[in-house]
């Protein structure tokens, strides 16, 4: 009758993989309670931790849930409580955590007619509300865990990649908000052939590095020649944070999602924490409040608590 979930934060793009690559964090995320109700449909009954709409059609969890229910025939409805711990506009998948949790929980309560990969399509409909684009680079890792590659969108083709065991993520979130829709608006619709070739090589290198546990190859591939130069200027101290992360042993560093969070991937927890301390030292001198997280990669995705 009722299920309680951990809905994880995610890092999208991973430098070279705009809209197609993402990974899932293990100790950062929202919680959600979903219960069956006699009244058909979906109702958002409580939101704690954020000022978000309770109206089903205006909430990403509600929109995603309705998309799923349009494909099944059930004679009952659902109530959803959302406990937000990922701030909206943080760049670590606040909207995708809600969308992924909603479709996962309802799927569990109706007997799992859909696989985790199949649930990605429904969760994407919530992302349309949040950002104006049906992208899956956050909802795919949130549902499937590990690293995910969106090989194609039409039809949707998700490839899950197990994380090398020693990879840890460091994420620093300056307490400013960058709306995903606004950060998409700064992008250029055309890119040079030279930049595209560089990006294709990095995407292939990152995928190969993940499959072969080649940490040096992973590090060489975490480079963005297309999106980061346009978005980095909106994030305080971005270039310095990225440079400092690399100097302290990170494999690579870049913008998490559309920002303002900055991520770094490291080999081993000790290095990831060293990177975190270096990032903190930079922001301690700016007066800008921030949150910082060190997390291993979540291999499962949304979890039942």
Q: Is 182 a catalytic residue?
A: no
Q: Annotated catalytic residue: which of 170, 180, 244, 271?
A: 180
Q: Annotated catalytic residue: which of 127, 148, 170, 228?
A: 127
DSSP string, the chain: -EEEEEEEEEEESTTT-TTTEEEEEEEEEEEEEEEEESSSEEEEEEEESS----SGGGSHHHHHHHHHHTTS--SSEEEEEEE--SPTTSSS-HHHHHHHHHHHHHHHHTT--S-HHHHHHHHHHHHHHHHSS---TTHHHHHH-SEEEEEEETTEEEEEEPPPTTEEEEEEEES----HHHHHHTS-S---HHHHHHHHHHHHHHHHHHHHT-HHHHHHH---SSSHHHHGGGSTTHHHHHHHHHHTT-SEEEE-TTSS-EEEEEESHHHHHHHHHHHHHHHHTTT--EEEEEEEB-SS-SEE-
Q: Is 180 a catalytic residue?
A: yes
Kindly list the catalytic residues.
127, 180
């Amino acid at each position: 009758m009722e299920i309680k979930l951990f809905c994880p934060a995610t890092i999208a793009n991973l430098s070279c993989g705009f809209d197609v690559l993402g990974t899932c964090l293990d100790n950062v995320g929202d919680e959600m309670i979903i219960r069956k109700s006699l009244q058909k449909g979906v109702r958002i009954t409580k939101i704690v931790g954020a000022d978000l709409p309770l109206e089903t059609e205006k909430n990403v969890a509600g929109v995603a849930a309705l998309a799923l229910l349009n494909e099944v025939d059930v004679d009952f409805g659902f109530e959803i409580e959302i406990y937000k711990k990922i701030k909206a506009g943080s760049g670590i998948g606040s909207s995708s955590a809600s969308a992924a949790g909603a479709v996962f929980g309802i799927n569990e309560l109706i007997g799992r007619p859909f696989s985790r990969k199949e649930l990605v399509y429904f969760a994407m409909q919530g992302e349309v509300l949040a950002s104006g684009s049906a992208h899956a680079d956050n909802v795919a890792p949130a549902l499937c865990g590990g690293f995910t590659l969106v090989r194609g969108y039409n039809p949707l083709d998700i490839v899950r990649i197990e994380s090398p065991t020693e990879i840890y993520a460091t994420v620093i979130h300056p307490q400013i908000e960058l709306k995903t829709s606004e950060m998409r608006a700064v992008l250029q619709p055309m890119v040079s052939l030279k930049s595209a070739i560089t990006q294709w090589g990095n995407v292939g290198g990152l995928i190969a590095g993940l499959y072969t546990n080649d940490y040096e190859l992973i590090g060489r591939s975490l480079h963005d020649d297309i999106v980061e130069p346009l978005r980095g200027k909106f994030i305080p101290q971005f270039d310095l944070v990225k440079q400092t992360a690399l100097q302290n042993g990170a494999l690579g560093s870049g913008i998490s999602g559309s920002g303002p969070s900055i991520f770094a991937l490291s080999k081993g927890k000790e290095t990831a924490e060293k990177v975190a301390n270096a990032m903190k030292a930079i922001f301690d001198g700016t007066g800008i409040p921030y949150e910082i997280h060190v997390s291993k990669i979540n291999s499962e995705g949304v979890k039942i608590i």
